[in-house]
């Protein structure tokens, strides 16, 4: 089977890395890697290929940024001839970004098989672009690889035939487990003058928060309160950087002695930063899962999560975007940190192997 694997945005790279490695054990699979170019800064893309030893993409569609419709449409236009020319039999997509739905849709219309890794997750919040991407991608996928039990429940309830669904575990955790020891060699704590367990990490990039100064300003005020007690480091996503600058909020943050804005960092530095943090404040999807395995308390700045196992088995707590709830959550955690229960089922570093095995045996 000639299989095109799609990646495009930062959270895709951690998911694609273990898959590209696992295919080496399956001679029946001939993998190709296509990068859509949705993310393109060195620190949002290339750095991860180097650190995670992802093979150089066979092709980069170089779509860059744009509105949802523009970005999705350009990916589709550029991917269609590639799919035809390579004569691929199938396309594998991961996650929930625009590159995911765009390439799945092209493949499906050309009668190619579509495989979705991280299928079945639902926030039940259609105002999130990712939720639209998830629902649509799952609807046109031939095989749906599920990372946690809620994914099984959601797909079953939506009427997905059982023989298409495979509960395989979490490829993001494959990457975490593979790199955990290596990340300890990172010098990031020393470089930032931080000591283990004595600081917090922030990341935010969801449009629902960062595109609205009236939501961000009070949150930054809450960060200001927290940093008086616990130093905070905030690697800033490029969307967020642009919005903070537009709203003049970067200057306000600049006055806070213990809140450091830094550029996005590579996977190994970031893993070390998270692993040694007293807590993480984030709206990221993947980081809710990573902190669950690292046992680091995570306050998620959202009203919902498509990853409920991180609430029931992990260290995650939803605090929304209300500063009062965030501060109450912070005080609770400082008094009594959340402890993770047994790790979620099949989050054992072997998910990509299971997927490659199933693909090797798959016949339409
Ligand atoms: C995208 C995904 C989101 C994911 C996030 C992870 C969609 C709809 N959104 O959001 O699900 O959680 O990636 O990081 O697919 N930019 C740069 N350099 C880059 C990339 C982006 O400067 O390398 C800036 C551009 O101004 C761009 C903005 O960031 O307009 C947003 O990028 P985009 O890929 O559209 O969405 P993200 O917010 O990154
Ligand atoms: N990450 C990173 N450097 C950073 C911020 C995040 O390597 O500066 C990693 C993080 O550990 C996780 C992934 O990027 O593996 C999450 O990506 P992101 O938050 O962009 O997307 P989401 O998970 O929200 O879709």
Nearest-angstrom CA–CA distance, 175 and 351? 10
Nearest-angstrom CA–CA distance, 137 and 120? 10
The pLDDT of residue 215 is 97
Ligand 2 mean position, distance from CA 41 (Å): 14
Q: Which residues of the chain carry a pLDDT beneath 50?
A: none
Torsion of CA 48, 49, 53, 59, to 10 degrees: 160
Concerning whether 205 is annotated as a catalytic residue, the answer is yes
Here the tokens at position 111 are 């009668």
- pLDDT tens digits, one per residue of 138-168: 999 999 999 999 999 999 999 999 999 999 9
Q: Which of 35, 205, 237, 276 is catalytic?
A: 205
The pLDDT of residue 336 is 86
pTM for the predicted model, two decimal places = 0.98
Q: Where would I find the H helices in 98-187? A: 98-109, 129-139, 149-157, 171-183
Q: Which of 299, 185, 142 is nearest to 232 (CA)?
A: 299
The pLDDT of residue 364 is 83
% residues pLDDT > 70 (the chain): 100
Q: Which of 23, 71, 70, 64 is nearest to 45 (CA)?
A: 64
The pLDDT of residue 191 is 98
The pLDDT of residue 337 is 73
Residue 279 Ramachandran class (φ > 0 left, ψ -120 to 50 alpha, else beta): beta
CA contacts within 13 A on the Cβ side of 178: 21
Ligand 1 mean position, distance from CA 213 (Å): 18
CA contacts within 13 A on the Cβ side of 103: 32
Nearest-angstrom CA–CA distance, 197 and 176? 19
Ligand 2 mean position, distance from CA 46 (Å): 14
The pLDDT of residue 339 is 77
Domains and CATH numbers, the chain: 2-170+347-363 (3.40.50.2000), 180-335 (3.40.50.2000)
> Does residue 1 contact residue 31 with C-beta atoms inside 8 Å?
no
The pLDDT of residue 153 is 98
Whether ligand 1 lies within 6 angstroms of the CB of 77 is answered as: no
The pLDDT of residue 97 is 98
Nearest-angstrom CA–CA distance, 313 and 311? 6
């Amino acid at each position: 089977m000639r299989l095109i694997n799609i990646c495009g945005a930062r959270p895709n790279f951690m998911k694609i890395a273990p898959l590209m490695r696992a295919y080496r054990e399956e001679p029946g699979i001939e993998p190709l890697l296509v990068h859509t170019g949705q993310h393109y800064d060195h620190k949002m893309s290339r750095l991860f290929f180097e650190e995670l030893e992802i093979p150089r993409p066979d092709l980069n569609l170089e779509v860059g940024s744009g509105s949802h419709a523009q970005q999705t449409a350009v990916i589709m236009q550029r991917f269609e001839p590639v799919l035809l020319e390579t004569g691929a039999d199938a396309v594998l997509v991961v996650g929930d970004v625009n590159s995911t739905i765009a390439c799945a849709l092209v493949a499906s219309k050309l009668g190619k098989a579509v495989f979705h890794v991280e299928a079945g997750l639902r926030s039940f919040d259609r105002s999130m672009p990712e939720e639209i991407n998830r629902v649509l991608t799952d609807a046109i996928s031939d095989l749906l690889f599920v990372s946690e039990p809620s994914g099984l429940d959601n797909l079953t309830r939506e009427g997905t035939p059982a023989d298409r669904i495979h509960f395989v575990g979490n490829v993001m955790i494959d990457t975490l487990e593979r790199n955990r020891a290596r990340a300890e060699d990172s010098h990031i704590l020393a470089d930032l003058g931080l000591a283990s367990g004595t600081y917090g990490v922030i990341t935010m990039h969801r449009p629902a928060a960062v595109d609205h100064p009236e939501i961000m300003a009070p949150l930054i005020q809450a960060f200001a309160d927290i940093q008086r007690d616990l130093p905070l480091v905030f690697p800033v996503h490029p969307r967020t950087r642009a919005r903070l600058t537009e709203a003049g909020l970067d200057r306000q943050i600049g006055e806070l002695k213990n809140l450091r804005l830094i550029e996005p960092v590579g996977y190994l530095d970031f893993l070390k930063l998270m692993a040694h943090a007293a807590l993480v404040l984030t709206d990221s999807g993947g980081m809710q899962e990573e902190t669950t395995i690292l046992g680091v308390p995570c306050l998620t700045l959202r009203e919902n999560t498509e990853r409920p196992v991180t609430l029931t088995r992990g260290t995650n707590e939803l605090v929304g975007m209300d500063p009062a709830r965030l501060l109450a959550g912070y005080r609770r955690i400082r008094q009594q940190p959340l402890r993770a229960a047994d790790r979620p089922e099949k989050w054992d570093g072997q998910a990509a192997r299971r997927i490659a095995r199933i693909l090797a045996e798959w016949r339409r």
